[in-house]
């Protein structure tokens, strides 16, 4: 590839600013038509990370995202606030079993899913997020954290009404998780700066479109402030424990 082909990447910050200005104008058009409404927050949130394993958040893998260090640093602020408040946290990673990989789907015909061996270190949640033993890691096979998993049932069991979504990638797994979250009836929040991808511009476009139709996109600071006000007794699991004393 010749150097001229990298001009867009070299001017990434400039192009990103242009995109934001264009989307700011488009937001006004959407709002006039009744889109971009605010879902707001419920009383019982949960946090889910999407594919924030080493394969996406560390260098050297075909799935590595751009600016993963920044994404992890911003996500950690949200996770730490949730941990202090006793908010349920669920991580996911996409992977397939063994050399034969009988569980490998047709998706591998489009992208190199065979590079995601569930038994490799690449599938471990990235240590930059400081994952804790009590935070479940759900092994999924497709884009959404919900598709073919128990996540929705578990959130309902806990009495969750709001889901905070962070991770990779904005155009696929995060987007599908957000869409399914709203479909299952959860207020859905995406903190800006906590979503990664591999190509300049993709994040801005998908955040704009998700905010228009499926979720609220807000600052990390706003989400942290919200989490700091959560009382962990709102979860039904906590209530059951109290009843059994």
At residue 54, what are phi and psi to the nearest 5 degrees?
-60, -35
Tokens 């264009």 — which residue?
22
Of residues 65, 72, 173, 215, which has the active-site annotation? 173
Alpha carbon distance 84, 7 (integer Å): 44
* Residue 188 dihedral angles phi and psi, to the nearest 5°: -125, 130
Rounded Cα–Cα distance for residues 78 and 229 (Å): 13
Please give the Cα distance from 39 to 202 (Å, whole number).
Answer: 24
Q: Is 173 a catalytic residue?
A: yes
Greatest alpha-carbon pair distance for the chain in Å reads 69
Q: Please count the other Cβ atoms lying within 10 Å of the Cβ belonging to residue 50.
A: 31
Q: What gap in Å lies between CA 194 and CA 184, rounded to an integer?
A: 22
Active site residues: 173
């Amino acid at each position: 590839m010749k150097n001229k082909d990298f001009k867009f990447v070299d001017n990434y910050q400039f192009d990103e600013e242009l995109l934001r200005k264009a989307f700011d104008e488009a937001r006004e058009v959407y709002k006039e038509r009744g889109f971009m409404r605010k879902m707001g927050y419920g009383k019982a949130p949960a946090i889910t990370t999407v594919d924030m394993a080493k394969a996406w958040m560390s260098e050297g893998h075909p799935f590595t995202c751009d600016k993963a260090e920044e994404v992890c640093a911003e996500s950690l602020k949200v996770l730490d606030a949730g941990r202090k408040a006793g908010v349920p946290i669920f991580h996911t990673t996409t992977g397939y079993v063994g050399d034969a990989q009988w569980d490998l789907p047709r998706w591998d015909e489009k992208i190199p899913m065979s590079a995601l061996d569930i038994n490799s270190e690449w599938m471990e949640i990235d240590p930059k997020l400081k994952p804790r033993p009590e935070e479940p890691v759900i092994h999924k096979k497709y884009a959404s954290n919900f598709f073919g998993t128990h996540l929705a049932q578990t959130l309902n069991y806990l009495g969750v009404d709001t889901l905070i979504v962070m991770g990779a990638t904005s155009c696929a797994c995060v987007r599908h998780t957000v869409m399914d979250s709203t479909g299952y009836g959860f207020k859905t929040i995406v903190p800006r700066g906590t979503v990664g991808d591999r190509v300049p511009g993709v994040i801005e476009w998908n955040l704009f479109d998700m905010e228009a139709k499926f979720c609220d996109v807000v600052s990390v600071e706003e989400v942290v402030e919200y989490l700091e006000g959560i009382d962990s007794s709102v979860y039904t699991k906590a209530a059951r424990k109290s009843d059994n004393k």
